[in-house]
């Protein structure tokens, strides 16, 4: 229920359309009732003019009316009087000619259907707009989530939340709720109408109707159950067959033919019994329905003719009654189905709200301040970090990156280099120790300002399915053409960009599929240049490239690093030998550091790795 209310709260901005929908649907219900009402004079006119007016007039007089004979509760009687008066007043305005009545029926049908259209349109509009808002809201929430969340929730699951689950809510909110409102209005309208026609008769009909509908439900439930059983028995039979055929050699070798045949006979007997029971229900259905149906109808007709003979009812009224009952059947059937749709929507809503309510692990601290400029440098002090408990990745990692210098991080695979690169922009937060910028814990800066100061180029370049221009100037609404071209040139990208017929307006395809790996990498460099961040992280930015492409991208990267505080991670030591400082990492901490020459001279891990790569000086 709470879920439903919360879903309904999303309709608030669309309350205008919701109101139109309700008005339309109430209109439809009223028109339906009016149509039923028109049946009375229509039929009575056919039989003899004035019959309806006669009975209506009699009722209004109060003398000898059915309501007067046996005492009904005064409230009911009062209400009935009101209705009778209203009907009589209406009747006096109705034309008496048959053709005019028929025309009025047509007009009412037209109005009713026009209202149906507007009511449904408004309802769908409300529902769909609500669901759109919900979906947008959901994605807003997801985009704020930390990588940890995305790692725990498979992409497919998240996609399903945004697409399937929301779609199920649409089905309930927009389609089923439309039916719910329309049907309830109609049923209530028809019920009120039926009771206003003749209270006792309506009561009698209401008692009889469930007697007719209940067996339908009962039979269909029984039939479903029986068919299910019969299916199961069929399955058992198949299992026996499967075993016997596949294992026929074993059966024969052991002389078990008769035993297996008996087993099969047992299975067929059970299937026969179950099947027969299902057919019995099926065979019983139609006769019982017909007997009950005709019996119920006859009882009603008997009662009606009794009332008619006493002048308390006309044939027109009776027909109108039957129509009203008939018109209630479908809405009631649909209302019965509503429950299922609602349950599904509630379940989907719960899943969606679980996503909406998931706490965001990495957010601004209450008094976070914007990051200004980096003057001294960045320092990792005794940083501990684990993605999963009990599996430490960083264990007391220390490193200093002086402002404006290039510091390289090298070491064996799995040492934790990329993890260091992820901690710097706070994709994850350290679990012990701290990372400071000019002595201030980076968690004291606002996320937006801190991340805004960092450029990240990794091995996997993420490009969006839009133009090269928009990919380079990612996130900027106003593109500075000159700067764009300067960045593309510095990234050695302009050359290939201009080879495309559309130049900077070339759409790169999903994830940049139309570009080569090296081209994608150079676009990523151009993007970082355009952002112009004071701090730069390069994580294996060239490792996916062949030697030639790597040389070009390496030059592009050198342009990018100039004047920035840079952390560069690479397997190939040749690409980092010119760094100002090199830290060698192993098992989550720095094991040695210095310049390329100093490290070679130490004959440690660095010298060993360098030798493996044929780098001797
Ligand atoms: N998102 C993650 N969730 C869980 N464990 C992770 C995650 N990313 C990395 N790890 C684990 O953390 C350890 C360090 O990984 P990391 O990517 O930092 O190593 P690396 O030094 O960059 O290695 P490589 O040189 O191969 O890129 C590895 O054991 C890895 O399995
Ligand atoms: Mg890595």
> Is there a contact between 21 and 119 (Cβ–Cβ < 8 Å)?
yes
Q: How far is the CA of 423 from the centre of ligand 1 (A)?
A: 12
- Which residue's alpha carbon is nearest to atom 26 within ligand 1? 413
The answer to whether residue 467 is domain-embedded is yes
Exposed/middle/buried for 473, CB within 10 Å: 0-12, 13-18, 19+?
A: buried
Tell me which H or E stretch contains 583. Answer: strand 581-586
Tell me the two tokens of residue 472: 């380079």
How many domains does the structure of the chain reveal? 2
With left for phi above 0 and alpha for psi between -120 and 50, is residue 39 left, alpha or beta? alpha
Contacts of residue 213, Cβ cutoff 8 Å, sequence gap at least 6: 329, 332
Domain end call among 338, 357, 376: 357
Choosing from 473, 503, 532, the residue where a domain stops is 532
Helix (H) or strand (E) holding 83: helix 74-93
Domain interval for residue 504? 455-532
- pLDDT score at 429: 92
The CATH number covering residue 163 comes to 1.20.1560.10
pLDDT for res 71: 54
Residues 201 and 315 in one domain: yes
Atom of ligand 1 nearest to the CA of 416: 18
**pTM, whole model, 2 decimals?**
0.69
Give the closest residue to 89 by CA, choosing from 57, 44, 46: 57
Judgement on whether residues 469 and 349 belong to the same structural domain of the protein = no
Pick the last residue of a domain from 300, 335, 357. 357
Q: Is the CB of 419 under 6 A from ligand 1?
A: yes
Q: What integer pLDDT is reported at residue 47 of this predicted model?
A: 64
**C-alpha 600 – ligand 2 centre gap (Å):** 23
Residue 419 pLDDT: 94
The reply to whether 313 falls in a domain is yes
d(CA 77, CA 199): 9
Claim to verify: residue 353 and residue 459 sit in the same structural domain: no
Indicate whether 99 belongs to any domain: yes
Ligand 1 pocket member 416 (CB < 6 A): yes
Q: CA 582, CA 599: separation in Å to the nearest integer?
A: 8
421 CA closest ligand 1 atom index? 18
159 inside domain: yes
Residue 150 inside a domain? The answer is yes
Measured torsion, CA atoms of residues 240, 242, 247, 248, in degrees rounded to the nearest 10: 80
- Which atom in ligand 1 lies closest to the alpha carbon of residue 412? 25
What is the position in ligand 1's atom list of the atom closest to the CA of 415?
21
Q: Which of 418, 586, 613 to mutate to test the pocket of ligand 1 (most atoms within 8 A of CB)?
A: 418
Find out whether 200 and 310 touch, Cβ atoms under 8 Å.
no
DSSP of 251-315:
HHHTT-HHHHHHHHHHHHHHHHHHHHHHHHHHHHHHHHHHHHHHHHHHHHHHHHHHHHHTTS--H
Distance 484 CA to ligand 1 centre (A): 34
CATH label of the domain that carries residue 462: 3.40.50.300
Two tokens, residue 441:
């814990």
Tell me how far apart the alpha carbons of residues 486 and 480 are, in angstroms, rounded to a whole number.
10
- Could you tell me if 343 and 471 lie in one domain? no
Do 333 and 470 lie in a common domain?
Answer: no
| pLDDT for position 326 | 79
Determine the Cα–Cα distance for residues 71 and 181; give it in Å rounded to an integer: 35
Q: Measured from the CB, is residue 414 less than 6 Å from ligand 1?
A: yes
Would 546 be classed as within a structural domain? no
Whether 188 is in a domain gets the answer yes
Both 9 and 157 in one domain: the answer is: yes
Does ligand 1 have an atom closer than 6 angstroms to the CB of 588? no
Low-confidence ranges of the chain (pLDDT < 50): 49, 51-52, 55-69
274 and 128 in one domain?
yes
pLDDT of residue 110: 94
- Please check whether residues 350 and 476 belong to one and the same domain: no
- pLDDT the model gives residue 212: 72
| 481 neighbors 523 (Cβ within 8 angstroms) | no
Is residue 165 a part of any domain in this protein? yes
């Amino acid at each position: 229920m709470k879920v439903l209310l919360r879903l309904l709260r999303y309709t608030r901005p669309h309350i205008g359309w919701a109101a139109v929908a309700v008005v339309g649907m109430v209109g439809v219900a009223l028109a339906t009732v009016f149509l039923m009402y028109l049946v009375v004079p229509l039929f009575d006119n056919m039989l003899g003019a004035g019959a309806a007016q006669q009975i209506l007039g009699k009722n209004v007089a109060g003398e000898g009316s059915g309501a007067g004979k046996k005492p009904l509760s005064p409230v009911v009687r009062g209400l009935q009087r009101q209705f009778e008066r209203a009907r009589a007043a209406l009747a006096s305005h109705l034309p008496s000619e048959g053709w005019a009545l028929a025309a009025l029926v047509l007009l009412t049908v037209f109005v009713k259907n026009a209202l149906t259209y507007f009511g449904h349109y408004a309802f769908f509009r409300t529902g769909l707009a609500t669901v759109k808002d919900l979906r947008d809201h959901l994605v807003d929430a997801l985009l704020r989530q930390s990588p940890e969340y995305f790692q725990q929730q498979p992409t497919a699951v998240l996609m399903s939340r945004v697409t399937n689950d929301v779609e199920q809510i649409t089905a309930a909110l927009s389609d089923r709720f439309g039916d719910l409102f329309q049907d309830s209005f109609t049923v209530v309208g028809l019920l009120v109408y039926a009771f206003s026609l003749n209270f006792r008769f309506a009561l009698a009909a209401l008692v009889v109707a469930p007697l007719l509908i209940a067996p339908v439900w009962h039979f269909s439930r029984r039939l479903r159950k029986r068919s299910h059983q019969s299916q199961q028995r069929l399955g058992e039979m198949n299992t026996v067959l499967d075993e016997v055929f596949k294992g026929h050699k074993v059966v024969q070798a052991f002389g078990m033919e008769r035993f297996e045949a008996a087993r099969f006979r047992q299975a067929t007997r059970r299937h026969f019994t179950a099947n027969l029971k299902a057919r019995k229900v099926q065979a019983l259905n139609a006769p019982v329905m017909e007997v009950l149906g005709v019996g119920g109808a006859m009882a009603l007709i008997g009662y009606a003719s009794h009332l008619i003979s006493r002048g308390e009812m006309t044939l027109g009224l009776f027909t109108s009654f039957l129509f009203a009952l008939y018109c209630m059947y479908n809405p009631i059937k649909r209302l019965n189905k509503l429950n299922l749709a609602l349950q599904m929507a509630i379940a989907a809503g719960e899943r969606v709200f679980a996503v909406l309510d998931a706490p965001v692990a990495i957010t601004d601290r209450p008094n976070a301040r914007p990051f200004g400029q980096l003057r001294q440098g960045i320092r990792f002090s005794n940083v501990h970090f684990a993605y999963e408990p009990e599996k430490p990745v960083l264990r007391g990692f220390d490193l200093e990156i002086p402002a404006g210098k290039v510091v390289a991080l090298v070491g064996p695979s799995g040492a934790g280099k990329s993890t260091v690169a992820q901690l710097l922009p706070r994709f994850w937060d350290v679990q012990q120790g701290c990372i400071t910028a000019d002595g201030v814990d980076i968690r004291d800066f606002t996320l937006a300002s801190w991340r805004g100061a960092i450029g990240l180029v990794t091995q996997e370049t993420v490009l969006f399915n839009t133009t090269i221009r928009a990919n380079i100037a990612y996130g900027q609404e106003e593109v500075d053409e000159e700067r764009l071209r300067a960045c593309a040139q510095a990234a050695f990208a302009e050359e290939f960009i201009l080879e495309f017929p559309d130049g900077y307006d070339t759409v790169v395809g999903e994830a940049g599929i139309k570009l080569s790996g090296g081209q994608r990498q150079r676009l990523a460099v151009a993007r970082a240049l355009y952002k112009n961040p004071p701090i730069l992280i390069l994580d294996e930015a060239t490792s996916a490239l062949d030697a030639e492409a790597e040389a070009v991208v390496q030059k592009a990267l050198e342009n990018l690093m100039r004047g920035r505080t840079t952390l560069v991670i690479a397997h190939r030591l040749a690409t980092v030998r010119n760094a100002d400082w090199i830290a060698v990492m192993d098992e989550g901490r720095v094991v040695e550091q210095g310049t390329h020459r100093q490290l070679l001279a130490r004959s440690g891990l660095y010298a060993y790795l360098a030798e493996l790569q044929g780098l001797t000086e």
